[in-house]
Amino acid sequence: FAATTEIATPYSLPPRVVRDQLPILYVYDHCPFCVRVRLAFGLKNIKHNVQFLANDDIPTPTALVGKKIAPILAVPEDDLIMGESLDIIALVEGDDRFGTPNAILPATGRSDIKAWQKSVQILLRSLQRPRYVATGLLPEFQQLDGRHAFIKNHQLPPYDKPEWKGDGTDENPGLPMDDKLKLYAEALSKDPAPLLEELNAKLVELDDMIFSESYCSAGGLSMDDIDLWARLRSITIVKGVEWPSKTRNYMDNLSAMGDVPLYDEMAL
């Protein structure tokens, strides 16, 4: 990412948007695709209701959009229900009832950040997934069935998804549930120091890629931030992470402006 002399002007929230019938977001708290939409709504200053789905709740999203997915947007005044995070953001960005159109700049094609995200995927899977279900505090995991549904479907390294879930055949039934529960418990009980050391070093790398404490790419707040911040938020559930100052301030600034809390107070 080329150096630039551009001065970072902090993002300013636009005027509050309050519709007579508030839009509703159906989400999982831990889901980065859901967080994308929550952050975009917050940064556009759109008052909305958030409906957290239990992780094992199949009937509710299926009744809304035909399958178990999140996020889902409902716009009661239009009798509209839709899924897919980027489509939802595009909808409100193109509708002046939801504030100034195109307030969030387009993505700039940050291949460096995409490569960084890919490089930490397995590492973060090892650290974050056991902690999501272990806190007992995330709304989608308030009940045992929700926690077990997540563990059943979300593999831990070194397993890949087909090994973990199976394919419904006798030849590949997947891991037994008792084994999955044991692996999650073991992952949480391990000394996290080696993984934390690796993560802390990777965050130093990322810090050099982030343009400012207000947005990650030169030019202003953009879809680059919507995606990056939504993914970085999950790291705050891991206790003992050493955040470089610029990246930490970036996380705090967008959390405050977007009205999406971080996990620091429940970190494990």
Of 109 and 10, the one with more pLDDT:
109
Residues 45-61: tens digit of each pLDDT: 999 999 999 999 999 99
Of 170 and 89, the one with more pLDDT:
89
Asked whether the predicted pLDDT for residue 62 surpasses 50, the reply is yes
Asked whether the predicted pLDDT for residue 4 surpasses 60, the reply is no
User: Band of the pLDDT at 3, cuts 50, 70, 90?
Assistant: very low
Q: Which two tokens stand for residue 165?
A: 């879930």
Residues 172-201: tens digit of each pLDDT: 889 999 999 999 999 999 999 999 999 999
Mean pLDDT value across residues 21-46: 98
User: Band of the pLDDT at 5, cuts 50, 70, 90?
Assistant: low
Mean pLDDT value across residues 231-260: 98
Confidence at residue 6, expressed as pLDDT on a 0 to 100 scale: 67
Mean pLDDT value across residues 252-264: 98
Residue 201 CA: distances (Å) to CA of 206, 209, 253: 9, 13, 22
- The residues near 221 (Cβ < 8 Å, ≥ 6 apart) are 11, 43, 104, 105, 214, 215
Residues 80-91: tens digit of each pLDDT: 999 999 999 999
Interatomic CA distance for residues 125 and 157, integer angstroms: 7
Interatomic CA distance for residues 77 and 96, integer angstroms: 14
Residues 113-122: tens digit of each pLDDT: 999 999 999 9
Q: Global pTM?
A: 0.94
Using a pLDDT cut of 90, give the percent of the chain over it: 93
Residues 132-162: tens digit of each pLDDT: 999 989 999 999 999 999 999 999 999 999 9
Using a pLDDT cut of 70, give the percent of the chain over it: 98
Confidence at residue 1, expressed as pLDDT on a 0 to 100 scale: 47
Interatomic CA distance for residues 221 and 107, integer angstroms: 9
Contact 110, 224 (CB under 8 A): yes
Among residues 263, 230, 229, 247, the alpha carbon closest in space to that of 132 is found at 263
Confidence at residue 167, expressed as pLDDT on a 0 to 100 scale: 81
Confidence at residue 171, expressed as pLDDT on a 0 to 100 scale: 84
